[in-house]
Amino acid sequence: MNSSEREKIKAAYKATFTKKIEEVSGNCLAEASLLKQYQALAEMVMESITSQWAKTNTLYNKNESKQVYFFSIEFLIGRLMKSYLSNLGVEDLVQECSAEMGLDYEAILSQESDPGLGNGGLGRLMACYLDSSSAMGMPAHGNGIRYKYGLFEQRIINGEQIEVADNWLKNGYPFEIRNPDKSVIVKYYGQIHSENINGNLTFVHENYEPIMAVPYDVPIKGYRNETVNSLRLWSAEPLEAFDLPCFNQGHFLNAVRHKSEAEAISQILYPNDNGFDGKLLRLKQEYFFVCAGIKRIVVDFKRSNNNSMDGFSDKICIHINDTHPALCGPELMRVLMDEEGLGWDDSWKITVAALSFTNHTVLPEALEKWPVDMMKDLLPRIYMIIEEINRRFLLELDNEFPYDLERNHSLSIIRDNYVHMASLAIVSSHSVNGVAALHSKILREETFNGYYQVFPNRFYSVTNGVSPRRFLMNSNPELKTLITESIGSAWEHNLFHLKKLLNYISDPVFYEKFEDVKLANKIRLANYMTSHNNVNVDPHSIFDIQVKRIHEYKRQLLNALHVLYLYNRLKENPNLEMAPRTFIFAGKAAPGYYYAKEVIKLITAIAELVNADPTLHDKLKVVFLANFNVSLAEIIYPAANISEQISTAGKEASGTGNMKFMMNGAITLGTMDGANIEILEAVGPSNIVTFGLSADEVHHYQKYGGYRSIDIFEQDPRIQQVLHQLIDGTLGHGLSFQAIYDSLLLYNDGYFVLKDFSAYADAQNQVDHLFRNPTIWTKMSISNVANSGIFSSDRSIADYQREIWKII
């Protein structure tokens, strides 16, 4: 485009924007608030997406290509405006025009609320997979819940986590379209009776409680292409807002009771990451979006297939993201048999062929199991079908392993009065996969070994990936520019091209620019810390960052204890030679997870002690950033030097933060766990620092009852000093962290914090030495960016297409 054409487009943009402002606010541009400016821009964005969206849907309705539907109880999509603008290829234009109109582009964008419709890894992964599917022009959609309140907002008050409701919809949400004409009735409770209708046994559901599921669709626009897929979020509404007879009789509260009970289903996201709390409302949620989502898929499929279900599983993949949507199996069976009139065997064939299942954790406390009575009561027909699935499965087992009662019992979907959701998911899917090589191996050899012996060909592995658009191009625009200047723009469509950066690994000019970018990003984060935490940090210090949910297995505690140890060393020897360090933490604790909340309190208490001590001469700073969410993450990753990935080996299924850090040039300091192992393979041992027990060693100890943490305590004076400080009043003006102390000594340190302490301290020392040689450090950092191509979610989606959905 030449410059006069561009000027014309700019003028048109400015005129439309000005007009839009008037429409959305009734004010002229000069008087419109930032919120109205954002809303005007959002409307313009939606207008330019919707026709492409309609075209994509028309194409899909022809039923030519296979459609993938991700069912997930979480979609942690983050803010969308920037993605839309950049995917449309108009971000520069909007930025330039905004500046020329005297508007603050970044401030406008910050008006968007960050939808917290997920807890962490599992929900964010879905968002990356939708982004990649659209970028690759592949038909894939999401089905989830439109929670009225997303994950709580975290405030830190007096060093402790306080939860505040996340009312993300308070100003409306401009990127969704409500489609009440596509609503579905979901039935709970009641009784099932069978009738013989025209010689066919038919199941009739009576006295049920109906709830209306109303879809809100969010467009997922592909990067610089024509594809717009859909994220469908279901909202629960009562069939009739009021019980009118009740209302007329003056029983107002009773009349609205039904309304609020119905709405409760999509009211809140359960704030647990890697944990299961067995609440009835959660089971209602699980069935809610499964039932609604499946119904729409079947209706749409039949409409474009001459009202027939023939070929359903050749054209439809139903991918279940962990076990929360595992009712997809029995629900699809119900629809096929009770509504479409198919027999069991045909229905079962279709169901297994359509379903695939990804597991995201091996932590036993996260494995879902629902009491039989609860399931039977709430979902009587679904429970009947699960019983029948199980009965037939047990018969098969009995054929294959006759008289092996113990084995067959241990594999039963219903056992000890619970419905085991992972078992249900495995038996009703044609594929089961883990999210990194080690995790998939653990699934095969331990967690799901019994099923692996029965279905060896069902097990796969697909290593997770992250969206390079969100986590590199859009959140680190300076690095994006530098990369494109150096190697051209092919990497924007194929991240493996980043390898070309290795040609610059000894180029001093590139080095300097690369270091400048990192420094600029660190200054940006330092400014954020000054304004939000009132702590001034040196942007030249090592930014050593651990951001993720707070969980014992992720071992923020190991990091915190090491900081305290470093503090002790500096107090002992103020001239200690070390590069100044800023330890940065962020992450939410589940509201009911006492121990995790104690860890937050401990970190903030250490921060208080360290930051206030002038004798350290600014060599050490500690910051806990409140309210970690996708928006904050986007500022954090580009500014990191060190990426802390220090979970107990064998416990972190994959990790995805590790990949986001790597893409932005941080060096991983990690255990041999999850995808860290694959990061090591990708960058080579000289560009990563690893330490600690292996998964096999951890497994071995656990098998034989753990290890004796007291022995380590007794041998290591560093640990003695640090642990005493937890309870002797050094911290938080006399606080005592007795629960943490006891977990390490009295309860034998189940996550091997003390066992790995020494190796971790050595690794941290190694980091210090490496960082003090800037040439080596920058080389390592460039190597990390250059080798991060394999962790693009585009690669993961390609793997799923090939291995699991068999699309290509």
> How far from chain centre, in Å, is Cα 658?
13
By CB under 6 A, is residue 121 in contact with ligand 7GP? yes
Report which of 6, 24, 31, 175 is spatially closest to residue 103, judged by C-alpha positions: 31
Q: State how far the Cα of 26 lies from the Cα of 50, in Å rounded to an integer.
A: 24
- Taking the complex as a whole, the smallest distance from the CB of residue 611 to ligand 7GP amounts, in Å, to 31
3-state secondary structure of 225: coil
Q: Which is nearer to ligand 7GP, 656 or 801 (CB)?
A: 656
Choose one: 10-18, 211-219, 411-419, 654-662; the region binding ligand 7GP (CB under 6 A): 654-662
Tell the burial category of 526 from Cβ atoms under 10 Å away from its Cβ (0-12, 13-18, 19+): buried
What is the C-alpha separation between 132 and 469, in angstroms, rounded? Answer: 9
Sign of the dihedral through C-alpha 298, 300, 306, 307:
positive
| Catalytic choice (549, 562, 619, 621) | 549
What CA–CA distance (Å, rounded) separates 419 from 314? 29
Which residue, among 676, 695, 636, has the nearest Cα to 784 in the 3D structure?
676
Is 549 known to be catalytic?
yes
**Does the footprint of ligand 7GP cover residue 273 (CB under 6 A)?**
yes
- Of 21 and 122, which CB lies nearer to ligand 7GP in the complex structure? 122
Report, in this order, helix, strand and coil percent for the chain, each rounded to 5: 55, 15, 30
| Residue 360 designated active-site | yes
Please answer whether residues 725 and 734 qualify as being in contact, where contact means their C-beta atoms are separated by less than 8 angstroms: no
656 is catalytic: yes
Q: Of 227, 582, 648, 656, which residue is the catalytic one?
A: 656
User: Per the residue annotation, which of 221, 551, 651, 660 is the catalytic one?
Assistant: 660
Residue 325 engages ligand 7GP in binding (rule: CB under 6 A): no
Q: Does 361 bind ligand 7GP (CB under 6 A)?
A: yes
**Cβ proximity to ligand 7GP, 426 vs 623, nearer residue:** 426
Closer CB to ligand 7GP, residue 582 or residue 793? 793
Q: Does residue 120 touch ligand 7GP according to CB under 6 A?
A: yes
Query: In whole angstroms, what is the distance from residue 260 CA to residue 165 CA?
Result: 18
336 vs 435, beta carbon nearer ligand 7GP? 435
Residue 366 interacting with ligand 7GP (CB under 6 A): yes
- Which residue stretches of 735-773 are H helix? 738-745, 753-771
Per CB under 6 A, the list member of 142, 674, 692, 732 interacting with ligand 7GP is 674
* Active-site residue flag, 554: yes
DSSP-derived pairing of the beta strands 140-145 and 228-237: parallel
Cβ closer to ligand 7GP: 120 or 650? 120
Q: Return the residue nearest ligand 7GP (CB atom).
A: 121
Q: Do 319 and 71 contact (CB within 8 A), yes or no? A: yes
Partners of 418 in beta bridges:
371, 415
Segment interacting with ligand 7GP (CB under 6 A) among 113-121, 174-182, 301-309, 411-419: 113-121
Given the residues 284, 548, 581, 795, the one annotated as active site: 548
Q: Which is nearer to ligand 7GP, 37 or 272 (CB)?
A: 272
Residue 274 binds to ligand 7GP (criterion: CB under 6 A): yes
**Do residues 36 and 27 make contact, with C-beta atoms less than 8 angstroms apart?**
yes
Shortest distance in whole angstroms from residue 696 CB to ligand 7GP: 19
Closest by CA position to 542, among listed 615, 605, 620, 614: 620
Sign of the CA dihedral running 795, 801, 802, 805: positive
Closest distance to ligand 7GP from the beta carbon of 734 (Å): 36
Binding mask 613-652 for ligand 7GP (x = CB under 6 A): ---------------------------------------x
Under rule CB under 6 A, which residues in 462-491 are in contact with ligand 7GP?
A: 464
Map residue 455 onto helix, strand or coil: coil
Asked whether 332 and 354 are in contact (CB, 8 A), the reply is: yes
Q: Does 665 bind ligand 7GP (CB under 6 A)?
A: no
**Residue span binding ligand 7GP (CB under 6 A) among the ranges 22-30, 117-125, 597-605, 721-729:** 117-125
Cα distance between residue 48 and residue 44, in whole Å: 6
Regarding 435 and contact with ligand 7GP (CB under 6 A), the answer is yes
Q: List the one residue from 91, 112, 322, 749 that touches ligand 7GP (CB under 6 A).
A: 322
Q: For residue 420, indicate whether it is catalytic.
A: no
* Piece of the chain touching ligand 7GP by CB under 6 A; list 119-127, 342-350, 523-531, 563-571: 119-127
CA dist., res. 363 & res. 106, Å (int): 40
Q: Considering the rule CB under 6 A, would residue 122 count as an interface residue with ligand 7GP?
A: yes
- Is the distance from CB of 478 to CB of 785 less than 8 angstroms? no
CB contact at 8 A, 321 and 122: yes
Is 424 within 8 Å of 768 (Cβ atoms)? Answer: no
**Is the Cβ of residue 542 or residue 804 nearer to ligand 7GP in the bound state?**
804
Alpha-carbon 571 to chain mean position: 40
Q: Can you tell me the distance from the alpha carbon of 674 to that of 654, in angstroms, rounded to the nearest whole number?
A: 4
Tokens of 58: 């028309």
Among 360, 444, 513, 555, binds ligand 7GP (CB under 6 A): 360
Residues touching ligand 7GP, count (CB under 6 A): 19
Q: Which residues from 211-270 bind ligand 7GP, rule CB under 6 A?
A: none
CB of 558 to ligand 7GP, least distance (A): 17
Residue 589 CB, nearest distance to ligand 7GP (Å)? 14
Residues of the shown chain interacting with ligand 7GP in the complex, contacts defined by CB under 6 A: 119-122, 125, 273-274, 322, 360-361, 366, 435, 464, 652-656, 674
